Amino acid sequence: MKKIKIVLLLLIILLGINIIYAKDGDSRFLPLPIFGSTPETGFIFGGAGLYLQDKTDGQFLMSAGAMYTENEQTNVFLKIDNEFKNYSVLGQINYQNWVSKYYGVGNNTRLEDEEIFTRKNYSITLEFSRKLKKNKSAGIIGSYENYKINVYKIDPNLTGNRGVALLGLGITFSLDTRDRKLNTKTEHYFNYKLLEYFSSRNNNKFLKNHIDYRYFYNIYKEHTLGVHAIFDNNFGEIPFQKMVSLGNAYNMRGFLEGRYIDKNKAAVQMEYRFPVFKWFSGVIFTGFGEVYDKTFKLDELKNSYGAGLRFNYDKEKGITIRFDMAFNGEDSRVYVNFREAF
């Protein structure tokens, strides 16, 4: 545990250095208030912000936010993407003391089996990459995650049901020919990650493989078609906190994050982006996917769909405020965010 704390401290120091390093150049800042209410949290309030800076040797992108609830729950996050010369650093810090829902493991769990619990967790991830020839890059990843949770009474056989601390080390490879990272209009993005995680519980280890592929086609002027595919393949005894989830604000919108979880996932989503009026644009989207233990079954695919509105804060930089309404056949969800889903 002492070694893990040293690694965590080094990651925090490196993350801070990269925030300080982002200086000079053209910049944009977009703040966004957060308000809401749920039966489990009571009134929610907070704020988030997106900061973008073009530098002579790359681009610096940072998003951060914090939420607090009437029931004294907290959610804080910071994410940076810093390019300089032939290198890039991705960093993320999260802290949550938040309500969560558990439905069981698998692609066919029932909505009526919902169990509510409180999770306390924090994590830090740092990814350092070097640019190679022809839009390629490769690098290393380090992460530390700590989950304080107790769902033993809900599922005594679930790995990680009393909490777990995880140290992850891995590699990453990317091919990126996109015209820009925010609100992309043309070309491809491919990323592969392989991480080995070391658990504090019984010295357990497991592997996670992750593939992220995106393709964009500019049909005409501001009309764009996007396709996004995600594949997760994992090996070993995986704590349920690290099982893959079918839905969230960025993939398979319409499904609550954690509604369906398992060891592996395959999901594809598509969306059509189009202009509406001056600073506003629209989007329609759909997605198909499933989580599974060992075998992917085509007849068990889940579907979600929806539409959204965009306020184009800065068309040139691709900075938007995203409002999405998504459905999945049994539920619907609303999303407000700075960035496109992919």
Other beta carbons within 10 Å of 15: 20
- In this structure, of 53-67, 123-137, 265-279, the range with the lowest mean pLDDT score is 53-67
306 Cβ contact partners less than 8 Å away, ≥ 6 residues apart: 253, 254, 284, 285, 286, 324, 325, 326, 327
Structure tokens that stand for 82 in this block = 């810093």
Q: Which of 212, 228, 221 is nearest to 185 (CA)?
A: 221
| pLDDT at residue 214 is higher than 90 | yes
The closest alpha carbon to 45, from 26, 12, 79, 71, belongs to: 71
- Identify which of 53, 50, 52, 75 has the alpha carbon closest to the alpha carbon of residue 63: 50
Q: Please, what is the average pLDDT of the chain?
A: 89
Q: What is the pLDDT of residue 41?
A: 86
- pLDDT score of 40 more than 90: no
Residue 308 has pLDDT above 70, yes or no: yes
Comparing 197 with 32, the larger pLDDT belongs to: 197
Domain parsing of the chain, residue ranges: 2-337
Take residue 186 and report the two structure tokens written for it: 């043309």
pTM confidence score: 0.87
Which residue's entry shows tokens 């804080």?
76
Q: Is the pLDDT of residue 224 over 90?
A: yes
Instruction: Kindly give, in sequence order, each residue whose CB lies less than 8 Å from that of residue 39, ignoring residues fewer than 6 positions away.
Output: none
Contacts of 217 (CB under 8 A, 6+ apart): 186, 224, 225, 226
Say what the pLDDT of residue 5 is. 47
CATH number of 2-337: 2.40.160.50
Q: Is the pLDDT of residue 2 over 50?
A: no
State what percent of residues in the chain have pLDDT above 70. Answer: 91
By CB atoms closer than 10 A (0-12, 13-18, 19+), residue 56 is exposed
